[in-house]
Structure 1
């Protein structure tokens, strides 16, 4: 049994996704999954489930939700090859006794970390790890538990991690001397996220390395116009420097040979 938060909150049994019924049940499971194997204080669960308006007898209400979730997990465990994780009570809270690598967010972050290490001298291996990490996403993370403060915060963190992983993937496309393969996606992402200058930098460099110097300069001018007109700021010194280097056709912009090593 595996669990998902990179999209809807639920369980995967026999390669079949099962959603968890009920908003509060999903919030309870998501909160425990995000702290898999670690204690979650009862007071935090009160806040995640009910915010500033806990019901009378909140402790009993929480215990009822925990009992219901235990039954759900036990039923799902009976359907698959792995037993359900234990949901254990402690003096101050609850622990979902679950190996972290059975939750997709932890697998995603592990693969991204290994990809960043591999980028140094094994770009193809790094790109494979990034692709496998990004493939775990099934939509907006934790979108069906957005009323939970912790889930909402983690969702914002994950959005940033996802964009950073995409930028690494595009950078690897350039390092592997395949600038043409990332241009269309970089154009789309630059429109969707117009304030991320790293996307503009990568787009400019990809265009330049495809022999499209004028298009690279136009990408800069369009980004600068957005920044000036809508935010009242100039591009960063780094982006300006890249523009000057492209204008002057600096040799340093040309791709340098990269070791192609598939080892992890």
Structure 2
């Protein structure tokens, strides 16, 4: 959590944890009055000091001194942090926070997807480049900062989903398979990433891997949540198996023609998957046999008592 003054290239990072928590809460609620009692809870939780009101005022005063001096029309000094009868309000005076800029750029990128997916992907990547770590990192775990951080992290994931959708529509499936593989590992219960990865692999001609990815998703969802894949992921897999990939994914990114698979293609894919499964089972059995032989050897070589 930091303040950046682009006029002077000055970066200001509040030194203490309480100062960072106060700044994070006020930025998250910018333009709104944040009640003093909520700020006390944000900074001290269930163990506030005896003089909590005075302690909060002291932290507000320190934060005011950190904020850059700006002069508005009529040479009037802009007051960033304003005291109100019930609390405090941070006034941005038209300046965007990174979170606001991110939201604006994501909205612009998503609006572009239907008409210009390549341009949309570029805008969305630029928006995601604004992230330099976890949301509100270092701002504590108070209710305001925690809720705001959760919303920001979710908006980041939604933006990533939009980015990879745009890449697929622009014929860039091969560029994103590695990134999507990592995301399915980092977020193993988020079906949309599996759906995008299955589509990207299929479009790259890696049908067997696409089916294996679906099986991985199905197993993880069943094991962790006790549910089957949702209709979107299941429908995409069925469409791939039957040669009809869906309305948003009909065009071949290379030739521009729709994908078309006959029954022979589907049978070949299923045979390949079955063969891969048999190989995995055989390797697992060989590993178990090897473990058993090693246990017996160790038992034979162990000194008798």
Aligned match of 1:28 in 13, 22, 25?
22
| Pair 196,148 (structure 1): closer, same or farther in 2 beyond 3 Å | same
TM-score of the pair, normalised by structure 2: 0.74
Q: Deviations over 1:126-174 (max 9, x none)?
A: 2222112111111011121232211011111111111111111111110
Shift in Å, 1:53: 2.3
Q: Point out which structure has higher relative CO (alpha carbons under 8 A, 6+ apart).
A: 1
**CA separation in 1, counterparts of 2:27 and 2:44?**
18
Is residue 2:247 matched to residue 1:255? Answer: no
Larger Rg: 2
Instruction: Give structure 1 stretches of 5+ with no counterpart.
Output: 1-8, 258-264
Is residue 2:137 matched to residue 1:143? Answer: yes
Is residue 2:225 matched to residue 1:236? Answer: no
Equivalent residues of 1:101, 1:107 under 8 A apart: no
Q: RMSD of aligned C-alpha atoms? A: 2.0
Partner of 1:47: 41
**CA separation in 2, counterparts of 1:115 and 1:143?**
26
Is residue 2:188 matched to residue 1:194? Answer: yes
TM-score of the pair, normalised by structure 1: 0.85
**CA separation in 2, counterparts of 1:15 and 1:102?**
16
Q: How does 1:34-183 map to 2 (within 5 A)?
A: 34-73=28-67, 76-77=68-69, 85-99=79-93, 101-183=95-177
Equivalent residues of 2:236, 2:245 under 8 A apart: no
Partner of 2:2: 10
Q: Deviations over 1:205-263 (max 9, x none)?
A: 11111122222111111111222233322111222221111111226443279xxxxxx
| Pair 103,49 (structure 1): closer, same or farther in 2 beyond 3 Å | same
